[in-house]
Amino acid sequence: MIEKQHLIDRFVRYVTVDTESDPESDTTPSSAKQWDLANALVEELKQIGMQEVTIDENAYIMATLPSNIADEVPVIGFISHFDTTPDFTGANVKPQIIENYDGKDIVLNEAEDIVLSPDLFEDLLLYKGKTLITTDGTTLLGADDKAGIAEIISAMEYLINHPEIKHGKIRVGFTPDEEIGRGAHKFDVKKFGADWAYTMDGSQIGELEYENFNAAGAVVTIKGKIVHPGYAKGKMINSMYIATEFINSLPRLETPEHTEGRQGFFHLYSLNGGVDNTKLQYIIRDHDKGHFEARKKMILQLAEELNEQYEKEIITVEIKDQYYNMREKIEPVMHIVDIAEKAMKMAGIEPIIKPIRGGTDGSQLSFMGLPCPNIFAGGHNFHGRYEYVPVESMQKAIEVIVNIAQLVALKK
């Protein structure tokens, strides 16, 4: 398989390019800096020998590995995104390589006393003796999803360099803006031309997912009235107090920090306000479609009740659906999950089949006609300073991609 240092060098090259997406932007990609990595990936795909390498006006990248067999078999795809989340900075990433991890605390940043500890992150103990790539504690790492990109390109490079491995036509795709829910919005499924695909965007080694949240975003705007506080009686309306009422009226235990498995939640991720105006930004998540619709209705009803209470239209709500649970689109073609499961077992990996507490490009693509389960990329603790990825997990992901290609080549 791909030589270890070669993989590390490739991955480090990707994560040191800042590709943070911007939810406030209306452009695609949402941040101009995403072009920096996108253009570099196009050149790299050409250099390793991929064919039909394209990048469109929105930075969507596609490329082909032609079939090397005479039989007609399904065309498959592998997809990852190159943006990183705006939840935490991705600028000036300084990866640290931890060889032969000893199972103890890892000091990410001595000056700021930032420590990655198995006392808090027990999964670290799964990787004793492995090579870990971490942050320096001041940024995220970007393994979500630059690990997936490194794995896909490395697998294609391996197949090109080993023509004795038989495979059908393979398409690869890299997208912008997945982290702000837009990764598949302008993806040309017809142009991609695959019968099905896999996103390499999961976490722990072995993860295989074909269920995800139904997702929506809600913007709640509260209008107040500001006057001089010395003369405010009966006149001032403090939007921040009303915002507090709104926040406290939603179920307190139905938040990310109190839920797991298939349990849904309301997540207040941004609050910006003053007396005159306050804006709350929520994400709404639930695996069950009925519960998902009920959550959206609850937010609208709460706004209506507060408007009635204050006898003014002081609260407005805008809700936009982002993506849906891909399970209903995958279950009719479960053989594509079975192939991925078999490919993992061939690599000596025990599959962990579970619902995603999040979403991937694949959830939207599945509803656009491209069934797209999700496979592990190997990273942990995404979206923050404690993110890390074991290199050996990335190597196994590459092996799984190669195994899938071989298994599909057997399907007449």
Point out the residues that are catalytic. 83, 178
Q: How many CB atoms lie within 10 A of CB 304?
A: 13
DSSP annotation of 188 reads: -
**161: three-class secondary structure by DSSP:** helix
Quote the tokens at residue 142.
């970007």
Compute the distance between CA of residue 30 and CA of residue 21 in angstroms, rounded to an integer.
6
AA letter at 67: S
Compute the distance between CA of residue 361 and CA of residue 186 in angstroms, rounded to an integer.
11
Compute the distance between CA of residue 345 and CA of residue 339 in angstroms, rounded to an integer.
10
Cα dihedral value 301, 304, 308, 310, nearest 10: 110
AA letter at 60: Y
Compute the distance between CA of residue 50 and CA of residue 35 in angstroms, rounded to an integer.
20
Quote the tokens at residue 399.
């092996």
**Element at 28 (helix H, strand E):** none
Between helix 391-409 and helix 143-161 the angle, nearest 10°, is 50
Peptide bond into 23 cis (omega under 30): no
DSSP annotation of 32 reads: T
